[in-house]
Structure 1
Amino acid sequence: MSVFQKMSKAAARSGAALLCAVAVVGCGSSRHTHTTVDEEASKAMRAEERPARAARAEAAPVPSRPEEKAFGARYATPAQCEVAARKLLATSRDDAWAALKSCVERTHFTLLNALLSDAWYEELRVRPDAAQVIAQVVAQRGGSVEGELPLLHARKVPIFGLSAAMAQPEMYKGRYLLLRAQVADVRTEDDRPTVWLVEQGLGSVAREQPVGYATRKDSVKVHSGAVGGNVGLLGPSNLGGQISTSEQEVSSSTLQRFDNVTDETGREALGRLQKPDPFFAPGKDFVVLARFDGLRVTSSGEEDDEDAPKLPVLTIVSYYAPHPLLVY
Structure 2
Amino acid sequence: MYRDTFMPSKKPASRQAWTLLCALALSGCASSRTQVEDVREQPSEVAPRTSELPPDPLNAQRFAAQYPNPNECERQARRYLPLSRDDAWTALKACVDGTPFTSLQALMSGTWSQELRSRPGAAALIAKVVAQRGGSVEGDLRLLNEQRLPIFSLAAAMAQPDTYKGRFILVRAQVGDVRIAEEKPTVWLVEQGLGSVGTEQQVGIASRRDARSTTAGNLTGETTLVGGNVNGSLSKDKTTRDSKTVLRYDNISSDTGREALGRLPKADPFLSPGRDFVILARFDGMRTTSGALDEDDEGPRVPVLSIVSYYIPHPLVVY
Q: Which amino acid aligns with 1:165?
A: A
- Work out the CA distance in 2 between the residues paired with 1:76 and 1:186: 38
Deviations along 1:51-76, one digit per CA (max 9) or x if unpaired, are xxxxxxxxxxxx9921366x222223
Shift of 1:200: 1.0
Residue 274 of structure 2 is matched in structure 1 by 283
Q: Does residue 321 of the first structure (1) align with residue 275 of the second (2)?
A: no
Structure 2 gaps, min length 5: 1-55, 218-232
Q: Does residue 66 of the first structure (1) align with residue 59 of the second (2)?
A: yes
- Aligned-CA RMSD value: 2.7
Shift of 1:253: 2.1
Tell me whether 101-110 or 162-171 shows the greater mean CA deviation: 101-110
- Work out the CA distance in 2 between the residues paired with 1:64 and 1:82: 12
Q: Which amino acid aligns with 1:136?
A: K
- Work out the CA distance in 2 between the residues paired with 1:126 and 1:270: 28
Would you say the 8 A contact 1:179–1:199 is kept in 2?
Answer: yes
Tell me whether 159-168 or 78-87 shows the greater mean CA deviation: 78-87
Decide which of 171, 190, 200 is 1:208's aligned counterpart: 200
What's the secondary structure of 1:91's corresponding residue?
Answer: coil
Would you say the 8 A contact 1:67–1:95 is kept in 2?
Answer: no
- Work out the CA distance in 2 between the residues paired with 1:306 and 1:74: 62
Bigger fraction of residues in helix: 1
- Work out the CA distance in 1 between the residues paired with 2:68 and 2:144: 27
Structure 1 residues 315 and 272: alpha-carbon distance in aligned structure 2, compared to 1, 3 A threshold: same
Please give the TM-score of this superposition, normalised by the length of structure 2.
0.71
Would you say the 8 A contact 1:199–1:268 is kept in 2?
Answer: yes
Q: Does residue 177 of the first structure (1) align with residue 169 of the second (2)?
A: yes
Residue 81 of structure 1 is matched in structure 2 by 73
Residue 298 of structure 1 is matched in structure 2 by 289
Structure 1 residues 99 and 268: alpha-carbon distance in aligned structure 2, compared to 1, 3 A threshold: same
Would you say the 8 A contact 2:133–2:317 is kept in 1?
Answer: yes
Q: Does residue 107 of the first structure (1) align with residue 99 of the second (2)?
A: yes
- Work out the CA distance in 2 between the residues paired with 1:172 and 1:132: 18
Tell me whether 246-255 or 266-275 shows the greater mean CA deviation: 246-255
Would you say the 8 A contact 1:68–1:101 is kept in 2?
Answer: no
Structure 1 gaps, min length 5: 1-62, 226-241
Would you say the 8 A contact 1:152–1:159 is kept in 2?
Answer: yes
The structure with more radius of gyration: 1
Q: How many residues align?
A: 248
Residue 129 of structure 1 is matched in structure 2 by 121
